[in-house]
Structure 1
Amino acid sequence: MNTEETIEELKKIVKQKGLKYTEQREIVLNILLNADEHLSAEDVYNKIKEQFPDTNIGIATVYRALSFLEEVDLITSIAFGTDGKKYESNSKSHHDHLICTNCGKIVEFLDEEIEKRQDRIAKKNKFKITSHSMQLHGLCEECQ
């Protein structure tokens, strides 16, 4: 899905749930759709202040919008324990993550052999995979 299609999907979901469509949700989603990296709620808030200086959105509104967008599967998050979450759009193609436990750096990767192996394991166990995510935790080159 491109940005416009994802925004239309948000409008459809909000209408189906009988909720009011808000510009704030759209702005938060737009920030994540156009981000090149995973963003914390504070990162999203700061980008809104930079890119939409005339919009009055508080940090609490950002947290509520992120929670809603994740609940309706338009975004996903990676939890960092007491350090909170980092978010990304679900519009990207499938990928997995390497996560540095020291600095929080996130590297996205896709390995076809791993994907095929997962499919074989599921088939062997008569299991139908509907989704998956892989997170490998360790130390990045800079933190080793």
Structure 2
Amino acid sequence: IGLATVYRVLTQFETAELIIRHNFEAGYSVFEMAPDDHHDHMVDVDTNEVIEFIDEEIERRQHMIAEQHGYEIIDHTLVLRVRKKDRA
């Protein structure tokens, strides 16, 4: 299978909402199966490792802030760029 075929199929899966593409500032994309629940990401700036996490308090605060300004959140992405403390 050629690389062009792989990218075409990934695009089709993305359009069908079977997968989600995450574009990170380092110039690369990561695909993951469309999750059943919302989660956010941390990206290790030294290794580019992507760590998923769920924090209900962060989610609650984001919705509260949007509501205080007269908005509702339709969608959002939270990416924390992190570095292990022992590598700083």
**Cα deviation, residue 76, structure 1:** 1.2
Counterpart pick for 2:49 among 82, 85, 105: 105
Structure 1: stretches of 5+ with no match in the other structure? 1-56
| 1:125 paired to 2:69 | yes
**Cα deviation, residue 143, structure 1:** 4.7
Runs of 4 or more off by more than 6 Å in structure 1? none
**Cα deviation, residue 84, structure 1:** 2.4
Counterpart pick for 1:65 among 2, 9, 14: 9
Aligned partners of 2:30, 2:5: CA distance in 1, in Å? 16
Letter of the structure 2 residue corresponding to residue 77 of structure 1: R
**Cα deviation, residue 120, structure 1:** 0.6
What's 1:74 paired with? Answer: 18
Greater strand fraction, Structure 1 or Structure 2: 2
Please say if residues 103 and 143 of structure 1, whose CA atoms lie closer than 8 Å, have aligned partners that are also in contact. no
How many residues in Structure 1 have an aligned counterpart in Structure 2?
88
What's 1:115 paired with? Answer: 59
What's 1:95 paired with? Answer: 39
Q: Matches of residues 17-96 of structure 1 in structure 2 within 5 Å?
A: 57-81=1-25, 83-96=27-40
Question: Which of structures 1 and 2 has the bigger CA Rg?
Answer: 1
**Cα deviation, residue 90, structure 1:** 1.0
**TM-score (structure 1 length as normaliser):** 0.53
RMSD: 2.0
Letter of the structure 1 residue corresponding to residue 8 of structure 2: R
Aligned partners of 1:72, 1:142: CA distance in 2, in Å? 42
**Cα deviation, residue 110, structure 1:** 0.9
Greater helix fraction, Structure 1 or Structure 2: 1
